[in-house]
């Protein structure tokens, strides 16, 4: 199958990006050496200007003639086709025409369209033009049950692949080609894609949808604009949905399809364009709790469904099994003002009772530090151990401390963390007890209430970057990523939970990473074993950015060469896997 990256054409159209990107690299170089903060502001302004200039729909929709010909002339095996179903309700005729034309103008003609109209308000002229296309079928739902009607459409079609498209969308010209390509080459059962939100022909938001996760989907239906699946997957669902409301029917069907699917793919390309209304989330509807309850019942999962301040987002609380012992590992060296705040926040706020704290002392010099250790002797669940290392090696220190833990799960915690959420351990443990999840990360803030950590992805230089860094803690983030649990590439070792068995399975932290990349490397090793990494917004803490260990100022501590050395080791070890990583920080 020929692979076409149609986004490359954008690079040719916006030739100025090349020269501005060089300028950005110069600015970033200056920033690394702590030049005036005004340079950072200039950098941000220029990036915004570049972003604005590239945010026109034409730039994203553009295909070269060569790309069009390649896709039009591609013959799929067995002459496969897509059946696209669109449910319409009081749709604007102009938007409706745009949607229909985006399908008619696909580079691949392997499709048929089924329009299910609730209110029969489409103009007669538009309906007449539609009727002339033999690949388009029009239905009125006034006298039909939505479940029965759509079920009959799916059962009676001769096509092996079925899909739903939101009425507020239109498709990229390559959408059908790309979807069929993924179905055939990757044997996918269920597919969704990344999306663009637009208004007045300008892009206002990019939604690079997260990797599929039931934990995310139960909280927020982020797959509500474009969904395609194998017909056989639908046929194998024995208890078809009977909901009369389309949005409820669709969400119920989505969960049932996902339960049966073996391979679920998120196409990384931007195939779906959604017309935004006042740049709000008003289009999203509240999830019916009965649908989730039935879903949990089918999977035999014990969970409570909680409402949040956002009507269409739920908080799922999974049952904690057996309340296992949790070992909290805290490496420390002097700076007792931070450690004391950390310990007190754990003791005073933590509602989970079955935990121990293991402090790993590493080359402290201040007498006050050792006096503080003595003051902790009154706590039966706190012990101080002394590392055998005469220099700083974070990985070696953690591995050493792990030998003194007794917990079924461990939490790696920096000594400059201050706990906020009283049930922070439960919020992490409910995911850690899921056999498919290897590591759980927390939501961390700077002291000014901006976000320090909300999960880590990789950029196009294959290096880890923090998602939504510097956003205010009350922001919901791009596509609500800051308020729902989601799978990520990695999480910071400043606060993460992992089972002791998984930690042993990957031989702990790699000790060649002395000052950095050890936590990212741990996540990569865990994922290599088939586990997922999840981040939760409900375990919250302040992080004073490793002030005691100097991570935030590596160069001033003469560790810059070591940092570069370790970054090269990391790339050599993981670059090939990162290239195939699904969770990128993307740019058009």
Rounded Cα distance between 130 and 384, Å, is 75
pLDDT tens digit sequence for 142-192: 666 788 889 999 999 999 999 999 988 889 999 999 999 999 989 999 999
Question: What integer best gives the mean pLDDT of the chain?
Answer: 85
Of the two residues 135 and 408, the one the predictor is more confident about is 408
Instruction: State the sign of the Cα–Cα–Cα–Cα dihedral 450, 452, 458, 463.
Output: positive
Rounded Cα distance between 400 and 302, Å, is 37
Residue bearing tokens 């006096």: 371
Answer whether 65-308 and 326-579 agree in fold: yes
What value does the mean pLDDT take over residues 218-244? 89
Q: Are 411 and 497 in contact (CB under 8 A)?
A: yes
How does residue 460 score in pLDDT terms, banded at 50, 70 and 90? confident
Q: What is the DSSP string of 396-409?
A: HHHHHHHTT---SE
Of the two residues 550 and 159, the one the predictor is more confident about is 159
What integer pLDDT is reported at residue 291 of this predicted model? 96
Provide the 3-class DSSP secondary structure of residue 273: strand
Rounded Cα distance between 36 and 30, Å, is 9
CA nearest to 451, candidates 437, 434, 471? 471
How does residue 551 score in pLDDT terms, banded at 50, 70 and 90? very low
pLDDT tens digit sequence for 467-500: 899 999 999 988 889 999 999 999 999 999 999 9
pLDDT tens digit sequence for 491-536: 999 999 999 999 999 999 999 999 999 999 999 999 999 999 999 9
Domain boundaries, the chain: 8-54, 65-308, 326-579
Q: What is the DSSP string of 35-63?
A: --HHHHHHHHHHHHHHHHHH-BHHHHH--
- The structure tokens listed for 551 are 């991570």
The structural architecture, per CATH, of the domain 65-308 is Alpha-Beta Complex (3.90)
Rounded Cα distance between 413 and 148, Å, is 54
Please state, in angstroms and as integers, the Cα–Cα distance from residue 57 to each residue in 53, 62, 460, 502, following that order: 11, 8, 23, 46
Residue 32, judged by CB atoms within 10 A of its CB (0-12, 13-18, 19+), counts as exposed
* CATH fourth-level superfamily of 326-579: Spore Coat Polysaccharide Biosynthesis Protein SpsA; Chain A (3.90.550.10)
How does residue 25 score in pLDDT terms, banded at 50, 70 and 90? low
Rounded Cα distance between 109 and 81, Å, is 8
How does residue 240 score in pLDDT terms, banded at 50, 70 and 90? confident
Ranking 128-137, 172-181, 221-230, 559-568 by mean pLDDT, the lowest is 128-137
Q: Are 532 and 498 in contact (CB under 8 A)?
A: no
Provide the 3-class DSSP secondary structure of residue 370: helix
Which pTM was predicted?
A: 0.85
Ranking 30-34, 122-126, 542-546 by mean pLDDT, the lowest is 30-34
What integer pLDDT is reported at residue 74 of this predicted model? 81
Rounded Cα distance between 288 and 209, Å, is 22
């Amino acid at each position: 199958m020929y692979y076409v990256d149609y986004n490359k054409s954008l690079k040719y159209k916006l030739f100025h990006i090349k020269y501005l990107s060089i300028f950005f690299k110069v600015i970033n170089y200056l920033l690394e050496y702590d030049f005036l903060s005004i340079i950072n502001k200039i950098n941000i302004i220029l990036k915004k200007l570049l972003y604005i200039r590239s945010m026109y729909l034409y730039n994203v929709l553009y295909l070269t003639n060569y790309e069009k010909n390649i896709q039009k002339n591609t013959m799929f095996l067995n002459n496969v086709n897509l059946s696209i179903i669109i449910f319409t309700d009081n749709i604007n005729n102009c938007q409706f025409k745009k949607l229909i034309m985006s399908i008619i103008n696909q580079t691949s003609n392997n499709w048929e369209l089924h329009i299910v109209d609730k209110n029969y308000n489409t103009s007669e002229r538009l309906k007449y033009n539609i009727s002339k296309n033999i690949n388009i079928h029009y239905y009125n739902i006034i006298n039909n049950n939505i479940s029965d009607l759509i079920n009959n459409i799916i059962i009676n079609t001769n096509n092996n692949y079925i899909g739903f498209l939101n009425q507020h969308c239109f498709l990229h010209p390559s959408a059908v080609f790309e979807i069929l390509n993924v179905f055939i080459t990757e044997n996918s059962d269920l597919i969704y894609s990344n999306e663009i939100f637009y208004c007045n022909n300008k892009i206002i938001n990019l939604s690079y949808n997260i990797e599929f996760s039931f934990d995310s989907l139960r909280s927020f239906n982020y797959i509500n604009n474009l969904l395609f699946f194998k017909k056989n997957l639908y046929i194998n669902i024995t208890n078809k949905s009977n909901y009369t409301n389309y949005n409820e029917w669709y969400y119920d069907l989505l969960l049932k399809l996902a339960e049966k699917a073996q391979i679920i793919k998120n196409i990384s390309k931007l195939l779906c364009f959604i017309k935004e209304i006042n740049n709000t989330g008003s289009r999203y509807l509240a999830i019916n709790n009965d649908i989730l309850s039935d879903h949990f019942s089918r999977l035999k999962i014990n969970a409570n469904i909680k409402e949040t301040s956002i009507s269409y987002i739920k908080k799922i609380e999974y049952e904690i099994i057996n309340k296992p012992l949790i070992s909290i590992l805290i490496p420390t060296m002097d700076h007792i003002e931070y450690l004391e705040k950390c310990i007190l926040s754990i003791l005073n706020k933590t509602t989970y009772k079955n935990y121990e704290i293991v402090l790993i002392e590493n080359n402290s010099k201040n007498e006050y530090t050792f006096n503080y250790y003595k003051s902790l002797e009154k706590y039966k669940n706190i012990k101080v151990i002394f590392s055998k290392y005469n220099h700083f090696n974070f990985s070696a220190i953690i591995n050493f401390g792990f030998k003194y833990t007794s917990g079924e799960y461990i939490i790696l915690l920096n000594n400059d963390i201050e706990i906020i959420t009283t049930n922070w351990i439960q919020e992490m443990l409910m995911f850690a007890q899921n056999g498919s999840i290897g590591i759980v990360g927390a939501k961390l803030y700077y002291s000014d209430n901006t976000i320090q950590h909300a999960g880590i992805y990789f950029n196009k230089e294959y290096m880890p970057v923090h998602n939504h860094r510097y956003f205010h803690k009350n922001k919901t983030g791009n596509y609500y990523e800051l308020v729902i649990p989601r799978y990520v590439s990695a999480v910071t070792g400043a606060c993460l939970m992992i089972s002791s068995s998984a930690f042993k399975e990957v031989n702990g932290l790699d000790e060649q990473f002395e000052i950095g990349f050890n936590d990212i490397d741990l996540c990569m090793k865990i994922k290599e074993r088939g586990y997922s990494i999840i981040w939760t917004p409900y375990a919250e803490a302040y992080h004073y950015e490793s002030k005691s260990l100097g991570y935030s100022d590596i160069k001033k501590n003469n560790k810059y060469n070591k940092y570069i050395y370790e970054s090269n080791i990391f790339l050599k070890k993981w670059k090939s896997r990162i290239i195939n990583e699904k969770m990128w920080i993307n740019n058009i």
